[in-house]
Structure 1
Amino acid sequence: MSTPLKKILIVDDDTRNIFALSLTLRSKGYTCISATDASLAIKLLQQDSSIGVVLLDMMMPEMDGYEAIGRIRDIENLKELPIFAVTAQAMPGDKEKCLAAGANAYVSKPVNVDTLIDLLNKYL
């Protein structure tokens, strides 16, 4: 597999989740950067045009993933940026809620790596 040119931004308030996901994706040849809160993630997105997809935790303090998606979608050059909702919320209706908020895809925790790789290949 050739290394994708676009970076993956992992946004999660739990650094253990960032570490595990980042390690897994890097072992598959992806380049990852991370943010531990949505405000920092939005700043990174505005500064780094090489980010090709966002893996966004939906349950974070201060600004949750739903609000973050709305703010990202309000930025003209980020309207079409692929955002994957990555969440432990796996009750009926949670996937639909994430997609209705503007996420392109929904990935439940614990993350199925094969499913995530398939999505990344589709969007990157």
Structure 2
Amino acid sequence: MEDNDDNIYVVKHRLTRAGFTVLIATDGEQGVAMAAAERPDLVLMDLSLPVLDGWEAVRRIKAAPQSRHIPVIALTAHAMPGDREKAMAAGCDDFETKPVDLKRLLEKMRALIPASSAP
């Protein structure tokens, strides 16, 4: 889930080239609904989203029976001391800062996605 058009383009393009199918939600409320309906293998969550922030979106995804199993990686510009711990406490399974280091992000994604689903 991401609300910045430039970031959406870059990350979607790179992940598509790496063999992933990418769905986009531009606010937290839409992301929670998509996680429940689409049941993706993984969610990349921007923590600063409109309508419903990423912190609360993660909490809702992890609280819902149909989506609690979905791994979530916080993908955010929040890089202050304690932000990683706060993201993990909200329910994230990992944390990555922007600008994105694609190699490191792909490693984290592949570690969390079931081998049968990962490209």
- Shared fold (TM-score, shorter chain, > 0.5): yes
Q: Which has the higher strand share?
A: 1
TM-score (norm 1): 0.87
Alpha-carbon distance between aligned partners in 2 of 1:26 and 1:13, rounded to the nearest angstrom: 18
- Which residue of structure 2 lines up, in the alignment, with residue 39 of structure 1? 29
User: Could you say what secondary structure the match of 1:89 adopts?
Assistant: coil
Matches within 5 A, 1:1-124: 11-49=1-39, 51-124=40-113
Q: Runs of 5+ in structure 2 lacking a partner?
A: 114-119
Runs of 4+ in 1 over 6 A off after TM superposition: none
The percent identity for this pair of structures is 33
Q: Deviations over 1:70-115 (max 9, x none)?
A: 1111211211210000110111111111111110000000011011
Q: How far apart are 1:44 and its partner, in Å?
A: 1.4
- Which residue of structure 2 lines up, in the alignment, with residue 5 of structure 1? none
Q: Deviations over 1:8-54 (max 9, x none)?
A: xxx011121111100011111111110101111122122213x1000
Alpha-carbon distance between aligned partners in 2 of 1:99 and 1:106, rounded to the nearest angstrom: 8
Q: Runs of 5+ in structure 1 lacking a partner?
A: 1-10
User: Could you say what secondary structure the match of 2:44 adopts?
Assistant: strand
Q: 1:21 corresponds to which letter in structure 2?
A: V
TM-score (norm 2): 0.90
**How big is the alpha-carbon RMSD for the aligned residues of Structure 1 and Structure 2?**
1.0
User: Could you say what secondary structure the match of 1:85 adopts?
Assistant: strand
